[in-house]
Chain A
Amino acid sequence: MTELLTPFATWRGRIAALVLVLLGLLPLYAPWLDAAGIISQKFALTLMTRVLILAIAAISLNLILGYGGIVSFGHAVYIGLGGYAVGIMAHHGVTNGFLQFPVAIGLSALFALAIGALSLRTRGVYFIMITLAFAQLVYYVGVGLEPYGGDDGLTINRRSDFAGLLPTRGPDKTTAFYVVSFVVLLLVLGLVHRLVNSRFGMALRGAKSNEQRMQALGMPTFRYRLTAFVIAGAICGLAGALLANHTEFISPAMMHWTRSGDLIVMVVLGGMGSLLGPVYGAVAFLLLEEFLPGLLKVVLTWLHDGVAAVLGPGAGALESWLRLAEYWQIALGAILILVVLYARGGIDSLFGRPRHG
């Protein structure tokens, strides 16, 4: 971890450290935010737990998308697999987390191995589409699983039980689960950091920029790619197991193709091929989703007041202006298009040049 936080010399490093510290200390200052009337403690912790979990999923996607150049358009499938492993075991009374989590991770890794082995043979758009197809395949299996709720999903009555180490009910469970998610996020960041800077990571990045050269150097690029694909799937399965515990609910909607799209958006928004980019992306995307309507209302009020100052009563009632904020996804879509067209490096590139090109 220390090597992760040492580059304080650059703004990039300082901001990365600041973001991680702000996230890590949230349980300490959340009561203060609550008391100041800014945001309720429970809401803040619940929302940010979701952010942390999806950040883990986005980090796993970044390993193959950002470092490996592998555009998987079915990554949410592993969230679903991890979630369903936990949900189905809980449904049958197996709530031991030491059993549930390895099964969730193993199942996701196994599927990633099968999907990767078949789809990594194709290139370009065909790869995007075949990963999408496999994800839809699993999605429809979920829809068809009538004993586990089918399309409607399944409520999880008991969270994973880690030999009583973690409170599974009561007022402490939200805070405890947040802390656990944060620790998992740090561990995953550490793992991915070590991976991408190892010989394996160098080969993976080399295969992204020039596959033929890597092959000429004797690197088995297919095997490296497949390994990265499986590791990414396993990490994302872990995120899925956490998400199922967080929402206490699983449904096929967790792995709909638009969820895979959301994950790609998080990675690109934050900055591809940067360690903390996916974390920034997850924070930005989910907070935008949560607070964009409110933000739009502020902007619309200004606009209304401005127009009213010129036109007087011709501006119309403020309410009809504020109703426009319901359609905040238009603004989200526009932001997305603008980022793609004009800010390719994502949020991370705003803080200075990345260390690796």
Chain B
Amino acid sequence: MTLLIEQTLNGIQLGLLMFLLAAGLTLVFGIMDLVNLAHGSLYMFGAYFCASFTAWTDSFVLGALLALPAALLLGVVVEIVVVRKLYRRDHLDHVLATFGLILIANDLVRAVWGPDGRRIPLPAWLNQPIYLTPDLPYPTYRFAVIVVGAAVALFLYWLVTRTRTGMWIRAGASNRTMIGALGINVEALFTLVFGLGAVLAALAGLMAGPIVTVSIGMGDNILILAFVIIVIGGIGSIKGAFIAAMIVGMIDTLGRALLPDLLKSFLSVTAANTAAPALSSMAIYLLMAGVLVWRPTGLFGARG
């Protein structure tokens, strides 16, 4: 029972991280109609920025707070230099050009930070368990990730549904030409949205940093998961991204935690231990294929 609660919390935590990554991606996708494979690179840069700033300031919190504006700057520069030229092209061009950006990003990181992975050290107050109930310890850091992730999700909800900027974003997602005609500075709005996506990706990356090792290409596989999430949720839908991220986070975590014991009843121990992560990853892709066959534009998708 304790295991189940702990793993459920881990699932929520992974789901929230994935949501941060997917939210930026789905906004960029929904509003600019841009397939951005380099979104995973922004995630990676967030983690590396945080590792450097943490080493420099000797404080994880300060390091994280400095990494976010750095990621914003990076996102805006990338948007102005490369991405802006892609909006009028087709999806194949987006895929290719941002694939090129991934190659550049990975080697740039290798040039600046070296080929070895980095660890982000946690301060003592985050590096100990908290007791949710007297006999249920849970790592404080993972709990903090859940709190921050939930807070950012709420902030995004407020930003998109309650503010003027959010109104422009929603209008942009449903009809780009029209908001231009209504006198909104579309170019600036696009840069803003791309920058916001970069900050969200970097936040996900730097929060994942202390849990996994910060390494080159860390964004490449998680990016595909983020794409799966926004496709399941429906492109452009933040609500869809949130629900799909939670489902995917749960399947992945619970699959990895519970499947090995289940498989051990009819497989050898080593076979069960390798098959379980593979099976839970497969389950996610099967879910996506199923959703798309059933609803070709995702759960909450408006556009094809």
Contact = CB atoms under 8 A, between A and B. Distances in A.
Q: Do A and B bind each other?
A: yes
A281 B288 CA distance: 32
Given A122-B292, A123-B304, A146-B270, A341 B85 contact: yes
A133 B100 contact: no
Band of interface residues on B? 35 or more
A124 B96 CA distance: 15
Given A133-B289, A141-B278, A333-B100, A124 B91 contact: yes
Contacts of A136: 224, 281, 285
Among the interface residues B35, B103, B228, which one has the most CB atoms of the partner chain A within 10 A? B103
B108 A265 contact: no
Interface in B249-304: 270-271, 274-275, 277-279, 281-282, 285-286, 288-289, 292-293, 296-298, 304
A125 B35 contact: yes
B153 interface: no
Band of interface residues on A? 35 or more
B101 A333 contact: yes
Nearest to A252: B278
A143 to B, nearest CB: 5
A327 B114 CA distance: 11
Given A144-B275, A327-B110, A341 B289 contact: no
B224 A330 contact: no
A128 B91 contact: yes
Contact of B106 (A140, A150, A329): A329
B89 to A, nearest CB: 8
A280 to B, nearest CB: 16
A125 B235 contact: yes
B96 A268 contact: yes
Interface in A66-90: 71, 73
B224 A332 contact: no
A146 to B, nearest CB: 5
A77 to B, nearest CB: 12
A265 B275 contact: no
Contacts of B292: 118-119, 122, 126, 129-130
Contacts, number: 144
A82 to B, nearest CB: 20
B296 A137 contact: no
Contacts of B96: 264-265, 268, 336, 339-340
A122 B296 contact: yes
B278 A337 contact: no
A140 B93 CA distance: 28
A126 B289 contact: no
B82 interface: yes
A140 B100 contact: no
A327 B107 contact: yes
B282 A137 contact: yes
A261 B38 CA distance: 13
Given A144-B278, A144-B279, A333-B107, A73 B101 contact: no
B104 interface: yes
Contacts of A340: 86, 89, 93, 96-97, 100
B245 interface: no
Contacts of B102: 333
Contacts of A222: none
Given A126-B304, A143-B278, A337 B227 contact: no
Contacts of A146: 270-271, 274-275
Given A268-B96, A333-B100, A340-B93, A141 B270 contact: no
B126 to A, nearest CB: 32
B96 to A, nearest CB: 5
Contacts of A333: 100-104, 107
A330 B278 CA distance: 32
Given A264-B95, A326-B110, A340-B93, 8 more contacts: A123-B296, A140-B279, A146-B274, A264-B96, A329-B106, A334-B104, A335-B100, A344-B93
Interface of A: 65, 71, 73, 118-119, 121-126, 128-130, 132-134, 136-137, 140-141, 143-144, 146-147, 150-151, 257-258, 261, 264-265, 268, 324, 326-330, 332-337, 339-341, 344
- Which 5 pairs between the two chains have the least Cβ-Cβ distance? A144-B278, A336-B100, A333-B103, A333-B104, A333-B100
5 contacts: A130-B292, A133-B231, A136-B281, A268-B96, A337-B97
